[in-house]
Every structure is written in structure tokens, then in C-alpha cells.
Amino acid sequence: MMGVLWNLGAFLVALGILIAVHEYGHFWVARRCGVYVERFSIGFGRALWRRVGKDGTEYTLAMIPLGGYVKMLDGRVDEVPPEKRHLAFNHKPLWQRSAIVAAGPLANFLFAIFAYWVVYLIGVPAVRPVVGEVAPQSIAAEAGIRSGMELKSISGIQTADWESANMAMISHIGDQEMVITVAEPDGGFATRRTLDLSSWSFDPEREQVLTSLGITPYSPPITLEIARLVEGGAALAAGLQLKDHIVAIERAPVTEWQQVVEAVRSHPQQALALTVRRDGQTVPVTLIPDSKTLADGQVIGYAGFAPKVEPWPESYRINLQYGPITAVGKAAEKTWQLVTLTFDMVTKLVTGDVAIKNLSGPISIAKGAGMTADYGVVYFLGFLALISVNLGIVNLLPLPVLDGGHLMFFAIEAVTRRPVSERVQEIGYRVGSAILVALMAVALFNDFARL
């Protein structure tokens, strides 16, 4: 229950920040263009707090925190006295109206740059994208990718860490090939490898992009020494202790932790004879794993213990931290990468290269907000930047109920030299609303299917 409340709280904080940023973009440019703003609201419905500023604008915090709006003086909505027409939105030049509408998404992009700027000022720990293993006959293996190589760039995008590499790879969904620049092991020279993606089948719901290509990132060795025991778990009940070293299961020697995992998972509520080394002596232990049912109905065992993992070599660890000036460029570069990736995904969603089941809704966003807030302010800021970019791009879609739809009408007006008729706009609003409701329904369905 506490986890749900934490996710909800983090989600509301994130949503409130991003809505305020978006609406403030409209508000700020509207005021600079001489438009009178009647109300600036975060949320919809009944007002929980309101205040009228010296500028005459009513600032409101409303009950339903799922959006916001800037209500401007507009002759298309209310009757405007002749003496106030110069303050009305609809009486402003086309370029000013366009600037006011575009300012919301632009504010989201600028906020993303600011968030990443703070992230890079604080510094975010990461590891170099060094390949650990390559699956035989995989796409990566066919391209000549080998263990120990470091990914330097993907299709011209620099990949300092695995996050950048993942994002660059995901952008190639539906493409025929991917060009990767890799450094040979032990600091050797850089070479280009072309991955043939014609047979690439990637399902984000079931696997990671790297494993779908046959790449396993390098990670420090996992030992057979027990480093953590869960209170009330089967391992503790069996008498296992910290620093126990598992040497055999059912009298068969154990050489890697994955063997322990597979044995436990395949024996729910069944006795397993373990042999451990403790204080230099061999000790027999009978472990009866607990059971749990996965979403697909499969019943697996789990024991409630974790192994000791060797520390990362210092040469593999990096800290993405820059000075105030350099951080601006890095933040803008990261934001641009997110913008292009999101545009690519939206395009491929329309063309069918990306399945509609990959569309995520508010529940997935809430989970992401809670998880990143758990990790710390740096990761939460990165999450805010990601969602801010997505919010900006979604609002630029050419649907009449969104900012992009208004800009589309303004573009038509620029060509025809007259505004789009109110009847056409009304039909457009209805169609756009129907499409948005349908997309939200699909996103919510996908969210519930992932629970």
C-alpha cells in the first residue's frame, strides 16, 4: 500500500511540475504579446486555492490534477468590449497567436534542457558500455561484435554509457540496419560494424533491446557467497547464514549463481539438498523454496537470498559530471536525442513498425516516477526531462484539441489568408477528442495488462 501511495505522490509532483511549466510557457508569451490572461489554472474542476494577482489574473489550483489551462480574453468564446479588443487573443496577428500556442511545448523542451543541466552539474554515476557476452548466431555476432568491445557511437550518436546506447538502439526499430562504432578490447582502435536488422524481432514487453540483438553488458562476477537474507524467507528458515558459500545442489557441484537460481525457481515447495562451506567446514542444508505465481500463470520458487557481487573495476566506472557551461551543451544534446527518438517512435507507431501495445499510460508513468524518486533527485530529474519531452511532442501532434492542431489551423490560415471556419474547427475538435480518448483507453488497457 505504501508503495502505491509513494508512486501516486511522485506522479502528482511530476505531473504538477510539468503542467505548470507547459502552461507557464503559454502564459508568459501571451503576456508579452499583450493578451489579457483571465485565469491560470493547474488542474480542473473545483478550486482548492485561488488568488487574484495585481495583473488581474486569477491563479488557481484545482481539484483534478490531470491538466491545466490558461484562459485568455478571446472574442470567439466571450463577448469582448470594443475598448478591450486589442487585448483579445483572436485579434492578435497570426505570428503572435502561433507563438503563444507553440510556447507550451517549447517550455517543455527548455525544461528538459534545464533538468539535464542540473543532472550534469550534480553528476550521475554510470558505467562504460562494454560488451560482456555475445550470443552465438545472433545479430551482433553476425556483425562481428565480440566480448570486451566498447560501444563508442551508434549511427553517429555518442554512447558514453548504457542508457545512451539503449536509446540509440531503440530508435532503430523498424530499420534495416544499424551502424555501431566499437573500440577493440584493451583500448584498441575503433572500427565500424553494421548490424543487419532485417530479421530483428524486438518486443519491449518481453526482452531488452540489447538481449534481442544478442548482447549482454559486462557486469562484475557474481559469486556463490550469500550476501543478503530476506527476513521471513525460505533461506533464513532453512538455516542459511551470511557468508555461506554454496558448493553443491543435490550433490551436483555448483560453479555459477545462475545454477542456484534455476534450481530454486524449478522447485517451488520442494526440498533441495544444498551443501555450503561455512567457516572452512562443509555443512548440509535442506532448503524448501517458497512459491509464487507469475502473470502468465507459471508457478516458480524463490528463497529470499542474494549473492555477493564483486565490485566494478574502477576503469569501467564513470561520472557524467560537467561544469556549468559544458553541461548546457550536454543537456541540449541529450534533450535533442530524446526529441528525435520520440518523434521516431510516434512515426513508427503510426506506420506499424512499433506495436500499439507498447503505448504506456498514467499507471506506467506513476511507477516510473516512484522508482526514480526512490533512487534520488538526479534520477527523478532525468525522468522529469523524459516525460517533459514526451509531453511537448504529444502536444505538437496535429490534432485540433492539442497545440499542434491549433498550429495546423494557423498554417492553413497563413496559406489561405483567412481563418479556418468555426464549423471545420468544431468538427476537428470532435474528431481529435475521439482519437485522444481512444489512445488513452489503449494506454490504460496496456497499463492494466502489465500489472
* Domains of the chain and any CATH numbers: 101-123+321-451 (no CATH), 126-220+311-320 (2.30.42.10), 222-308 (2.30.42.10)
- Per-residue model confidence as pLDDT tens digits over 43-88: 888 888 989 888 888 999 888 877 888 999 888 878 888 888 888 8
Residue 269 confidence (pLDDT): 92
Of 380, 360, 379, 378, residue with least CA distance to 10: 380
Q: Is 180 exposed, middle or buried (0-12, 13-18, 19+ CB in 10 A)?
A: buried
Of 187, 73, 92, 89, residue with least CA distance to 130: 187
Partners of 222 in beta bridges: 309
Rounded Cα distance between 283 and 74, Å, is 81
Residue 293 one-letter amino acid:
T
Catalytic site residue from 23, 150, 314, 426: 23
- Per-residue model confidence as pLDDT tens digits over 222-269: 999 999 999 988 889 999 999 999 999 998 999 999 999 999 999 999
- Per-residue model confidence as pLDDT tens digits over 275-288: 999 998 999 999 99
Phi and psi dihedrals of 305, rounded to 5?
A: -140, 160
Residue 40 one-letter amino acid:
F
Torsion from C-alpha of 385, 390, 395, 401, nearest 10 degrees: -130
Handedness of CA 306, 307, 308, 313 (dihedral sign): negative
Q: Which long-range contacts (CB under 8 A, 24 or more apart) does 195-201 make?
A: 195/139, 195/140, 195/142, 195/143, 195/145, 196/139, 196/142, 196/143, 197/139, 197/172, 199/139, 200/139
CB 276 within 8 A of CB 240: yes
CB 153 within 8 A of CB 180: yes
pLDDT band at 212 (very low <50, low <70, confident <90, very high): confident
Residue 358 confidence (pLDDT): 55
Residue 320 in this model has a pLDDT that exceeds 80: yes
Rounded mean pLDDT, 332-343: 87
Residue keyed to cell 541529450: 334
Rounded Cα distance between 80 and 295, Å, is 58
Judged by phi (left if over 0) then psi (alpha if -120 to 50, else beta), residue 370 lies in: alpha
Residue 369 confidence (pLDDT): 46
Residue 366 in this model has a pLDDT that exceeds 50: no
Q: What's the gap between Cα 96 and its chain centre?
A: 33
pTM: 0.79
- Per-residue model confidence as pLDDT tens digits over 180-208: 999 988 766 888 999 898 888 777 667 78
CB 189 within 8 A of CB 150: no
Rounded Cα distance between 407 and 97, Å, is 9
Give the three-class secondary structure for 128: coil
Residue 321: all three cell numbers together? 559530471
Of 85-94, 164-173, 356-365, which range is least confident? 356-365
Of 162, 159, 154, residue with least CA distance to 194: 154
CB 422 within 8 A of CB 76: yes
Rounded mean pLDDT, 317-325: 90
CA distances from 189 to 156, 184, 202 (A): 17, 6, 30
Catalytic-residue membership of 58: no
Rounded mean pLDDT, 298-303: 88
Q: Which residues of 323-339 are buried (b: 16+ CB within 10 A; e: fewer)?
A: eeeebbebbbebbebbb
Residue 311: all three cell numbers together? 565490485
Instruction: Select the highest-mean-pLDDT range: 109-113, 121-125, 364-368.
Output: 109-113
Rounded mean pLDDT, 431-447: 67
Q: What's the gap between Cα 451 and its chain centre?
A: 17
Residue 117 confidence (pLDDT): 95
Rounded mean pLDDT, 299-308: 90
Residue 432 in this model has a pLDDT that exceeds 70: yes
Largest CA distance in the chain: 95
Residue 385 in this model has a pLDDT that exceeds 80: yes
| Helix orientation angle between 377-395 and 94-122, rounded to the nearest 10 degrees | 160
Rounded Cα distance between 207 and 350, Å, is 22
